[in-house]
Amino acid sequence: MSDLLEDFEQKRQVLRQIVEEHIRKRDDLSAESHKYAEERDNLNSEVRELRDEIKKKIARKGELIDHVQKLRAEKEEHYKVLSELRKELRKIKDETNLEGMDRRTLRFKERELQRLETRQQTNILDKKDEMKLVAEIRKLTMDIKKMKTIMDKELEGNQSIRELTLKVNAERKAGETFKKEIEKISKEITQLSEEINSGLQTLDETRKKADDLHELFVKYSQESTKEHEMFIQTKNELRELEKEATTVKTKNKATKKKEKEGELQKKATTLFEKFKNGEQLTTEDLLILQKAGFL
């Protein structure tokens, strides 16, 4: 019986060590899973912030594109009006009679200047011819400039031309203003596009990291659950073993008590025979008889 109890105690020590090992592994795995869950949640929070920021930029980009399209339509309208005004201005200038100015002579000089410049650019000339050609080009350039200056001064005195010129300048200025505004907004759209693309890339990378961390969380959480289940199983085995050990101890104790009582009855029976025969008994003998129920 003592060997059986010793075997129970050895098994009990082994099971206790296994229980403690399962608890340690379960808690370590649980701590790992919580760590990955926290990192995952932080990244998911970043993902939400990135997504909201990208949505705002996409919305802003859409607003700017709509605005640019409207500005372009208005710019084209101004340039359309400008083109018509220039045609009208050119027509009035061409039809206006200028004192002491022959338009045909001006056009002839302009064509001749173009011819001489082409000759200078495409032909190889000796120094003398080159100098002569340069002098002719210079003279024609000065003549044309002088004629245009005179023409402009005379045209400036024309009321219709002045009014049209003001309108042309106003439309050109308006068109240029729209053009600058469009260029400015277009740069902002380009910048937003780059930021959106960069943000989407960062979003994908962050989301992938969060997914990877979630997989680790699930893995360690499942392993922690398995260790907990094994802990419960081993703990139940330990409890059953301790029940068996307790049962054995109880039976052992009862057996010893029974054996002790049997020995007491046997000794008391012998002493009682002596008592009946009139033999002298000691106080201890009398106590044994009393304990055995003979007295």
Query: For residue 142, what are its two tokens?
Result: 């000065």
Contact 247, 4 (CB under 8 A): no
Q: What is the residue whose two structure tokens read 């919305």?
A: 59
118-161 confidence digits (pLDDT tens): 888 888 878 888 898 889 989 989 988 887 776 777 666 666 77
27-57 confidence digits (pLDDT tens): 999 999 999 999 999 999 999 999 999 999 9
CATH architecture of 16-217: Orthogonal Bundle (1.10)
Helix 283-292 to helix 159-276 angle (10° resolution) is 120
> Mapped to the 3 state alphabet, what secondary structure does 76-120 carry?
HHHHHHHHHHHHHHHHHHHHCCCCCCCHHHHHHHHHHHHHHHHHH
217-243 confidence digits (pLDDT tens): 999 999 999 999 999 998 888 888 778
Query: For residue 186, what are its two tokens?
Result: 């277009």
The least confident of 60-64, 108-112, 151-155, 244-248 is 151-155
- In the prediction, which pLDDT does 242 show? 78
Mean of per-residue pLDDT scores for the chain: 83
268-285 confidence digits (pLDDT tens): 677 666 767 767 767 776
Other CB atoms within 10 A of residue 224 CB = 20
Other CB atoms within 10 A of residue 100 CB = 7
92-116 confidence digits (pLDDT tens): 776 655 555 566 777 788 888 898 8
Backbone phi, then psi, for 104, in 5-degree steps? -65, -35
What sign has the CA pseudo-torsion 235, 236, 241, 244? positive
